[in-house]
Amino acid sequence: MGMTLNALTRSQIYVLDQDQALDFYVGKLGLEVHTDVDLGFMRWLTVNVPGDKGREILLEKPGPPALDPATAEQVRELLTKGAMGGWLSITTDDAHKTYETLVAKGVDITDEPTEKSYGIDFGIRDPFGNKIRIGQMRQQG
Amino acid sequence: MSRAVEESNRAMLRARDAMDRSYADPLDIPALARIAHVSEAHFIRTFRSTFGETPHRYLQRRRVERAMYLLVQTGQDVTEICYQVGFSSLGTFSRTFRQIVGESPSEYRSRRVPVDVPSCFVKAWTRPSSFG
């Protein structure tokens, strides 16, 4: 094949407000801030699952100059309708306990925990409209 | 787009998520309007302009999507599935299913094989379209 890709290290989702995103992803979900720096042209804000610094999620605010104002508006509209396509899948040791904790924190639930062939998982939504799946996976093999 | 429209979209999405969760319960417009912080009349109008269909039609598609899932993934009989997903009569269920899917529940069951991917994608992609 001539080349080898090694790992997925960074991915991105849009958020409407980075402070609110921090409150949700760090304050409620318990992710860690990986990098939070003002680059001048943008605030580079990434988070990671605790202990997994090799995989960052960029919480990007749509707007100029990366996107023209009209396009940024379209992104904001799609995001708040749940149609932007941002999606994260995160694992946990105990799906039911995590679910109860997030319910107590007032997080929006889209699916209750359900048993699947691959484990137990449930769905939540961030304050902006992105989908997040949290699963307790069965041991493979 | 104004902040007000974004907040309205997000509120409508929150109400739609609530319908997704309690799809087998009767459609409760007053409760959904409360979730979205709007009046009942405003809720139906705004839901339609946001998602392109009425709350009633969305709930029908959600129930039919669940029925499609149960028909393929379980051995439950059609009547049992009909009530489980929230229809109160087998006639209405069969008619709605055929109208939306284009075939009867039994015909649909006979042609499909089970899949197992995260529910949110199954829910979104197997929900029969209102839009042709």
Q: What is the per-residue DSSP string for B54-88?
A: -HHHHHHHHHHHHHHHHHHH----HHHHHHHTT-S
pLDDT of residue B37: 95
Q: Helix H segments across chain A? A: 18-22, 69-80, 95-104
The angle at the Cα of A108, spanning B127 to B119, to the nearest 5 degrees, equals: 30
AA letter at B128: P
> Looking at residues B14-18, what average pLDDT do you find?
96
pLDDT digit string, tens, across residues A37-77:
988 888 999 999 999 999 999 999 999 888 899 999 999 99
Query: pLDDT confidence of B115, banded at 50, 70, 90?
Result: low
The angle at the Cα of A28, spanning A27 to A31, to the nearest 5 degrees, equals: 70
- Give the 3-state secondary structure of residue A135: strand
pLDDT of residue A141: 52
* Interface mutation target, options B2, B3, B17, B122, chain A, most CBs of A under 10 Å: B17
Q: Which residues contact A124 (CB under 8 A, 6 or more apart)?
A: A102, A107, A108, A109, A110, A131, A132, A134
Q: Which residue do the tokens 């080898």 mark?
A: A4
Residues 11-30 of B with CB under 8 A from A: 12-14, 16-17, 20-21
d(CA A38, CA A43): 4
Do A110 and B21 lie within an 8 Å CB cutoff?
Answer: yes
Considering only the beta carbons, identify the residue of A76, A110, A133 that sits closest to B6.
A76
Distance (Å) from the alpha carbon of B17 to chain A's nearest alpha carbon? 5
Contacts of B10 in chain A (CB under 8 A): 80, 127-129
Do A125 and B13 lie within an 8 Å CB cutoff?
Answer: yes
Residue B22 has pLDDT above 70, yes or no: yes
d(CA B54, CA B44): 6
AA letter at B54: T
According to DSSP, the β-strands at A131-137 and A119-125 are antiparallel
A-B contacts (CB, under 8 Å): 60
Can you point out the beta strands (E) in A39-130? 43-48, 56-60, 87-91, 108-116, 119-125
Chain B: residue whose CA lies nearest to A90:
B118
Low-confidence ranges of chain A (pLDDT < 70): 1, 140-141
d(CA B23, CA A44): 40
Distance (Å) from the alpha carbon of B42 to chain A's nearest alpha carbon? 17
Contacts of A80 in chain B (CB under 8 A): 5-7, 9-10, 13
Considering only the beta carbons, identify the residue of A73, A114, A125 that sits closest to B119.
A114
* Interface mutation target, options B2, B9, B46, B48, chain A, most CBs of A under 10 Å: B9
Chain A: residue whose CA lies nearest to B2:
A73
Residue B19 has pLDDT above 70, yes or no: yes
